Amino acid sequence: MPIAKRHCSMKESSYLPIGKNLLHTNLSMTRRHAMNNPHTPSRSLPIRIALCGLSNPDEATVLNNLFSHANRWQQPWQVVPDADMADLLLVTANSSEELAGWHSDTGGFTQDRLICYSQQRPQEARWHLRRPPQGQTPSPLEFTILLKEISQALALATPAPTGLQPAPRPRAQPFDWREKLKILIVGSVGSGKTTAISTLCGDKVISTEAAPSDQTQLHKQSTTVAMDFGTLALNEDTQLHVYGAPGQRRFDFMGEILIQKALGIIILVSNAASDSIKELNYYLDAHREFLANHHAVIGVTHNDVSPTPSLNEYTRALQARGASWPIFKVDARQHGDLMQLVTTLLGSTIAHG
């Protein structure tokens, strides 16, 4: 691709052509800033990125919106107008040759400072964000995982201090999300846990259903007595283990066992329950210790049976507890609804640790 056709976005829908003259004028500054003195990732200094090669203003807007969320992370990210202000570049490249062209033309940016934005990953790409079909949004989960991994790589690559420079704060161990992809779904009897796991995982489900022997038999012919378990493929390399805890109070000890080593929990609350907010508070209280260091997302089911409480009422109940977990109305039979809960939970966990 000729240099004159390369662009880096300045704002959501405006672009700056990087021609030969401009490129050579800024090249020394780019190389000096981005390579010799990279940012040390911290809570205060954002990682700066320029978006290059985007000819569609709507696509640039979508990416800017994603990065605007990342600007609020513990390690913030910021979109900048031009390459000479950036630590990394997100570039459009559909082949190894195009990616090599970006590396050659930008001079100061090595492969580990280029994020390839394409439908297929070139073999030489260190970092890759899958480019969706026109009009669609990149996967928020893939986006979050990618930025988290880059943040960790930059932190590990920070040069050791010399002379009288202050020593950096101890680095936390990288968040190994591939080893920790386990979540637990909790909720009362009839809230839709078994259905949700079946919807997410299809035929890859193990269930321990039995005929109830208490008042549950008035509502259901069978109920979970140990656990539900299924696996969900997030991509070609990543499997999510999804566990469901029994809803009967006498089996609460199973939830305490299953929650071990989970990233977070999905709490399902049925609007058909006699006191849905009380049910929500029960599970927040039951897992208070776990939630002190982990994330949760709440799904409200059976909205076709009862539209109330509303999401606003649930939100006020959470605020009264000093909590602010994401909450959605969902249908446990709809895969898209359940994936919204999963991606929100994983995205929050990976972004904030």
Asked whether residue 218 falls in the same domain as residue 318, the answer is: yes
Residue whose pair of structure tokens reads 């779904």 in the numeric block: 185
| Res 286: pLDDT | 94
In a shared domain, residues 291 and 187: yes
Q: Is residue 296 classed exposed, middle or buried when 0-12, 13-18 and 19+ CB atoms within 10 A define those classes? A: buried
The confidence score (pLDDT) of residue 28 equals 33
131 and 266 housed in the same domain: no
Q: Are residues 70 and 198 in the same domain?
A: no
The angle formed by the CA atoms of residues 113, 7 and 351, to the nearest 5 degrees, is 45
Asked if residue 125 and residue 10 are part of one domain, the reply reads: yes
Q: Which three-class secondary structure state does DSSP give residue 185?
A: strand
Per-residue confidence (pLDDT) for residue 208, from 0 to 100: 67
Identify the domain boundary among 109, 141, 156.
156
Give the residue carrying structure tokens 């038999």: 217
Q: Give me the number of domains the chain comprises.
A: 2
In a shared domain, residues 227 and 148: no
Give whole-number Cα distances, 242 to 188, 260, 294, in Å. 17, 13, 16
115 lies in the same domain as 188: no
At residue 218, the pLDDT reads 42
Which residue(s) pair with 270 in the sheet?
301
Q: What is the pLDDT along the chain (353 residues), one digit of tens a residue?
A: 333 334 564 333 333 333 323 333 333 333 334 344 444 444 458 999 999 988 888 898 889 888 877 777 777 889 998 888 899 999 998 888 888 888 777 666 888 899 999 999 998 899 999 998 887 888 877 888 888 888 888 887 755 444 444 444 334 444 455 555 899 999 998 899 999 999 999 887 887 654 544 454 445 455 555 688 999 987 666 789 999 998 888 888 888 889 998 989 999 999 999 999 999 999 999 999 999 999 999 999 999 999 999 999 999 999 999 999 999 999 999 999 999 999 899 888 876 65
Q: What are the structure tokens assigned to 28, written together?
A: 């020394």
152 and 70 part of one domain: yes
Identify the pLDDT of residue 180.
55
3-class SS at 113?
Answer: helix
CATH number, domain containing residue 307 = 3.40.50.300
| 288 shares a domain with 330 | yes
Domain that residue 236 falls in: 182-352
Task: Say whether both 242 and 122 belong to one domain.
Answer: no
